Amino acid sequence: MNVAVISQVYQSNRQELLALKKKAEKDGKKTIHREGWEAAEVACSVDESDRDIHERLFTLYDKRGNDEVPSKPFLSGLATITNNTLEERIHIALEIWDEKGSGYLSQEDVQSCFVSMAKTCEYFGDDRMDFEQLEELVQSMFDTFDADLVDLKMKYRDRIADFAVHPIMEIYLGRQTMDG
């Protein structure tokens, strides 16, 4: 429930997160440097309270302590705390992993996205979704919609509602919203 509380004060939305991503990623790199992130926050007029949250999550995702984070995990972690429904949060997070804007993601990308979302939930004190549960969630969705796969990739935009009502997702992320 802690993510649900944080999301009530977090003001950045989908458009702002995507704008931050665009401004903070440099030279086609898949990482974001702290200095570039802070400059992007200023350029996008990010609220001070959101900057404080970003700072904490940046540190969480900075595994090497070199003021650099992988952009997709970091940004999909931020998508977890937007003040939106669970479906919208999932959509934002998956969209961040869809670098080409094709609407399709591999099983590995979907799983990595959900790992990041779960990491943010855990950071804020919510129950931890272990890797086996995440793997089961994604595998079951890819098995269920196997006939719809193109080059082993799922058209995720058509399946966001299905992800949101999956029993494993509801147990962990579903209760992280105060919309119902």
- State the number of CA atoms in the 13 A half-sphere of 4 facing the CB: 14
Chain segment 97-114, per-residue pLDDT in tens: 998 899 999 999 999 999
Stated as kind and residue range, the H or E segment containing 39 is helix 34-43
More confident residue, 66 or 172: 66
- The whole-angstrom separation of Cα 121 and Cα 53 is 13
Domain ranges of the chain: 2-176
Chain segment 116-147, per-residue pLDDT in tens: 999 999 999 888 788 898 899 999 999 988 87
Q: Give the pLDDT score at 179.
A: 45
Indicate yes or no: pTM above 0.85.
Answer: yes
3-state secondary structure of 104: strand
pLDDT-derived band at 180 (thresholds 50, 70, 90) equals very low
Whether 85 has a pLDDT exceeding 60, the answer reads yes
